[in-house]
Structure 1
Amino acid sequence: MLRFTLPSALLLAVCLNLLDLSPARAEVGLGAAPPPGADVLIDGTRETLDEKWTYWQGPAFASSLPIKWKIVDDPVDEGTVLMSFDPVAAGGKYGTADIVTKKPYRDFRLHVEFLVTKPGGNSGVYLQNRFEIQVLDGDKTKHGMGAVINETESPYHLYNGTGKWNAYDIVFRAARFEDGKLVQKPLVTVYFNGQKAHENVQINKVWGGPRSGVDGGNDGGAGITDTPQGLKLQNEGHDVRYRNTWIKPLTLAKADTSFSE
């Protein structure tokens, strides 16, 4: 019998590749397909919405199950998509009818496609129901479209505009703790419509207060706790559509979220 022995370094690389723990390369942009091991969160069906999502019952929660968000026709392409909708959120009442995945996540690779139907449309993608990647038409500031909110400037030039589909591709590494103390802050890398917008951005706190997300009321948002949380989509009473959304858990030992398309 012939036996082949791999050098230890090569063997380790092969094992890591098989485990797929590294986000080093990934398909990005509109239409990116979920890789093996990903959880499909939005596929345009009511069944998946009810199976995978619930309302975030934060301090401003004012709705009730079943989820009032609607499955509607895709305004651009064939198929059906998810529409942010709940009457209690009308007028920009954030935190009243946000939806969050039932499953929590720590480190992950995320793909989200969204369409803002009207000027000024507002929503948000919350990593671990804490850290917002903004969805806000017309705003080019640190609070604006595509910003790691209040941490980076908006990469507004990458935005396709209202009435068109857009895509976020994200790798997120959760905060790290030792003996209950925060020792490494969260990191995130974001592609916006296939172009790298942010790389290894450190997130310093939960912005927006307790109505915004988990830990928002702890020490002004700086009191991040050592708990995985779900992905959240914000409803501020605006018509924002979502489709083709999936998430893949990762284990990022190094403090590095960089990846290439």
Structure 2
Amino acid sequence: MNYTIFKRLSLSLALIASFTVANGQTGVGAKPVKGAKLYLDGSKKSLEKNWEYWEGPRFKAEMPIKWQEVTDPVGGGKAISSNDPAAAGGLYGAADIVTKDKFRDFHAHVEFFIKNEGGNSGVYLQNRYEIQILDGDYGDHGMAALINEHIPVSEEYLGTGTWNAYDIMFKAARFENGQLIAKPRATVYFNGVKIHEDKEIQQVWGGPNSGLDGGNEGGKGITDTPGGLKLQAEGHDVFYRNIWIKKLDLDGQSTDF
């Protein structure tokens, strides 16, 4: 089969799946579920209202946030670019942004677009646990990995120049009398296909520049502190839009959905 035709067919099938899984609540274009808040609609206004820089140990940027509003290369609407000049050269932690609201358990939807080959960013759950965004790699540090721990069970990335979507159910670590009794867990859909099912997450990876607790006992010292949803700046043209989050209470429940 001609490669171009094959790619278009694969894209069409993936888009169909994205609107049919889980009652239409996963995949590109998924609308906020009841009770969710829209944190990024692609406009600078929503960025400035709902997000702030994460001022970690490597922070170099200056307010206001330098992530720019751009024209959606596909649909002509609005999107926000993660290509902050302070993060040029892959300096993660220098200009990452995080929601002003902080979370324990939550359901989140994130749409991203990688413009160029090798594009790199990341979605951090609770500003701790990264779901990787990296064009051209599917290892434990590659696309859609729960980084350094869980590789996706299938490859659902639609490629550069195309919108992709993560749908995430996250359950925070549990503590009793100040002691950790259960690690965090997550279920992730990628473009409407389940790629991680109720996976336990062991630690924060990447050191103190990566997020909350990254420098605490080598990332193993997880604390009982809520955190925002963070997006990583690595000096690449990775665009974001349609990010919504619903706060949950998953006591006694799995993250599977």
The answer, yes or no, to whether TM exceeds 0.5 is yes
1:44, distance to aligned residue in structure 2 (A): 1.7
CA contact (8 A) 1:73 1:80 kept: yes
Distance 2:138 2:94 in 1: 26
Distance 1:116 1:31, change over 3 A: same
- Residue type of the partner of 2:84? D
SS at 2:122's partner residue? strand
Match of 2:18 in 1: none
Could you tell me the percent identity over the aligned residues? Answer: 60
DSSP 3-state at the match of 1:88: helix
Q: Distance in 2 between matches of 1:157 and 1:59?
A: 34
Which consecutive residues of structure 2, in runs of 5 or more, have no partner in the other structure?
Answer: 1-21
Q: 1:228 to 1:136 in 2, by over 3 A?
A: same
Contact 1:140 1:155 in 2 (8 A): no
Task: Report if aligned partners of 1:173, 1:257 keep a CA contact under 8 Å in 2.
Answer: yes
Aligned partner (choices 4, 10, 34) of residue 32 of structure 2 = 34
Q: RMSD of the TM alignment (CA)?
A: 1.2
CA distance in 2, matches of 1:25, 1:226: 33
Q: CA 1:77–1:155 in 2, change beyond 3 Å: closer, same or farther? A: farther
2:155 alignment partner, SS class: helix
SS in 2 for 1:224: coil
1:170 is paired with a residue whose SS is strand
Spell out, residue by residue over 1:12-70, the C-alpha distance to the aligned partner (whole angstroms, 9 max, x if none).
xxxxxxxxxxxx86611111000221111110221111110000000000011100000
Within a 5 Å distance, the mapping from 1:1-261 to structure 2 comes to 27-155=25-153, 157-259=155-257
Partner secondary structure for residue 47 of structure 1: helix
Structure-2 separation of matches of 1:142 and 1:257: 21
User: What amino acid sits opposite 2:47 in the alignment?
Assistant: L
The separation in 2 between residues aligned to 1:194 and 1:257, in whole angstroms, is 16
Gaps of 5+ in 1: 1-23
Partner of 1:20: none
2:112–2:163 contact (8 Å) kept in structure 1: yes
Q: Give the conservation status (yes or no) of the 8 Å contact 1:117–1:163.
A: yes
Q: Which moved more, 1:25-34 or 1:212-221?
A: 25-34
**What letter matches 1:95 in structure 2?**
G
Q: Distance in 2 between matches of 1:154 and 1:137?
A: 14
How many residues are treated as equivalent by the alignment?
236
**Structure 2 SS opposite 1:196:** strand
- Using the size of structure 1 for normalisation, the TM-score is 0.88
Q: Is the 8 A contact 1:140 1:156 kept in 2?
A: no
SS in 2 for 1:230: coil
Q: TM-score w.r.t. structure 2 length? A: 0.90
Whole-angstrom distance in 2 between the partners of 1:36 and 1:256: 20
